[in-house]
A = this chain, B = another copy of it.
Amino acid sequence: MKGTVVALSGGVGGAKLALGLSRVVDPSQLVVVANTGDDFVHLGLAVSPDVDTLVYTLAGLVDPERGWGRRDESWHFMDALERLGGDTWFRLGDADLAMHVERTRRLAAGERLTAVTADFARQLGVAARVLPMSDDPVRTRLQTGEGWMDFQEYFVRRRCEPRVHAVDYAGAGVAAPAPGLLEALRDPGLAAIVICPSNPLLSIGPILAVPGIREAIASRRAPAVAVSPLIGGAAVKGPTAKMMRELGGDATASEVAHGYAGLIDALVADPADAGLAYPPGLRVHSAPALMNSIEDRERLARAALAAAEAAGRNGPG
Contacts and interface: CB of A to CB of B under 8 A. Distances in A.
Contacts of A98: 77-78, 80-81, 83-84, 86
B123 A94 contact: no
Interface in A107-163: 108, 119-120, 123-124
A117 to B, nearest CB: 11
A96 interface: yes
A123 B84 contact: yes
Nearest to A45: B101
A317 interface: no
Interface in A42-76: 43-45, 70, 73-74, 76
B97 A97 contact: yes
A70 to B, nearest CB: 8
Contacts of A105: 43-44, 86
B123 A85 contact: yes
Interface string A13-31: 0000000000000000000
A94 B120 contact: no
Contact of A101 (B43, B73, B108): B43
Nearest to A107: B44
Contact of A81 (B45, B93, B101): B101
A72 to B, nearest CB: 9
18 contacts: A44-B101, A44-B108, A70-B80, A74-B76, A76-B93, A77-B77, A77-B95, A77-B101, A80-B95, A80-B99, A81-B98, A84-B99, A84-B102, A84-B119, A84-B120, A84-B124, A86-B98, A94-B97
Given A74-B94, A83-B124, 18 more contacts: A43-B105, A44-B105, A70-B80, A73-B76, A74-B76, A76-B76, A76-B94, A77-B95, A77-B97, A79-B95, A80-B98, A80-B99, A81-B98, A81-B101, A83-B98, A83-B123, A86-B101, A101-B101
